[in-house]
Amino acid sequence: MRGRGPGPGGSGSLPGSDGGLLVVGDVATDVVARHRSPLARGTDTTADIRLLPGGAGANAACWAVRWGCADVRLLARVGTDARAWHEASLRDSGVRARLVVDDEVPTATVISLVDASAERTFLTDSGASVRLTADDWSPSLLDGVGRLHLSGYLYFSEAGRGAVAAALASARERGVAVSVDPASVAFIEELGVARFLAETEGAETLLPNADEARLLTGLADVEKAAAALSRLGRVAVVTLGEAGAVVAEAGEVTARVPPVATRAVDSTGAGDAFTGAYLAARLAGADPPGAAKEGCRAGAAAVTRAGGRPGAGPGRGQGPGLGREER
């Protein structure tokens, strides 16, 4: 593939790079609880608990930087409670963040329950993240941008849908490629499949996991689901967890990307890592199959550590106002 990213630890622009990456998405405070035994209902269960910066959009942006994209930007909404912490974390990660401050609602909070198999279950308080509105958008945010990525969580509120619709319209006017992460089976079911597909019409790339692809198409076979999604004028890249990924273009499966062997500790943010590395590689000139290989590499790296970000840097292990280091 052309313009292969440097992978973990890389920095600087990549060969063939054409413009930066803008992520319009969510920032969240993650409470990650890794429990080795099943949850004991009505009493205590021992767990390793960390307070970490997260959010699907913010995580993807950080992984794109880690995978070599020199210009990564983020538009998101946060509460006053954790603004400084999240700004510092994103700045330390190399992301140029524009965080709109909400004076009425706190920052999104996600409790991630991670079992002994590294599978995670989320309890989500979307907070300020889904209150991003069309008024928070400006077409000038696309200046110098080669790709726009929209976090699916914004589609699950009226205000958020207005924001991503405005961003998508501006991108189409400028000829900027747009990708969408569907984000959540449960929330898509609440919104409705037909409406979600209608709202995302015009996006070049969909990046669902296997369950989301099945839900969006009604097809049990993941490869058939990927092919069906790609007939909507999109590239469909379906992540399969430990089984790798499937890439489909123009109604045909064009690649089956093998997984990268690793020992999983926490699957929180693995899909976000895939997305960030995939988009960095696309900006560097990779085709979808080649970019998916980079995504699998990043996903494998993500599951070896707690939380959804690439790694801790100065100040990033401290919770908002808590002054305690990540262990």
Q: Give per-residue pLDDT as tens, 26-38.
A: 999 989 888 988 8
Q: Are 65 and 10 in contact (CB under 8 A)?
A: no
- Whether 129 and 26 have beta carbons less than 8 Å apart is answered as yes
The pLDDT mean for the chain works out to: 87
**Residue 224 pLDDT more than 70?**
yes
β pairing state of 20-24 and 145-151: parallel
pLDDT in tens, 86-120: 999 999 999 999 999 999 999 999 898 988 877 77
Q: CA-to-CA distance for 275 and 270, rounded, in angstroms?
A: 9
**What digits encode the pLDDT tens for the residues 32-65?**
888 988 888 899 889 889 899 999 999 999 999 9
Which of 286-296 are b and which e, b meaning 16 or more Cβ less than 10 Å from the residue's Cβ?
Answer: bbbbbbbbbbb
* Second CATH level (architecture) for the domain 22-37+47-302: 3-Layer(aba) Sandwich (3.40)
Domain boundaries, the chain: 22-37+47-302
The pLDDT of residue 257 is 96
Residue 272 phi/psi, 5° resolution?
-65, -40
Task: Report pTM.
Answer: 0.87
Per residue in 265-298, pLDDT (tens digit) is 777 778 999 999 999 999 999 999 999 999 999 9
**Longest C-alpha distance within the chain, in Å?**
56
Strand order in the sheet with 48-54: 48-54, 28-34, 108-114, 120-125
> What is the spatial order of strands in the sheet that 177-181 belongs to?
96-102, 72-79, 20-24, 145-151, 177-181, 205-206, 235-239, 245-249, 252-257
118-173 pLDDT, tens digit per residue, is: 777 888 888 999 999 999 999 999 999 999 999 988 998 999 999 999 999 999 99
Residue pair 148/22 in contact by the 8 Å Cβ criterion: yes
Distances (CA, A) of 58 to 30, 44, 280, 312: 12, 32, 14, 14
Distance CA 8, CA 279 (A): 15
> Distance between CA 139 and CA 136 in Å, rounded?
10
Of the candidates 241, 58, 126, 211, which has an alpha carbon nearest to the alpha carbon of residue 226? Answer: 211
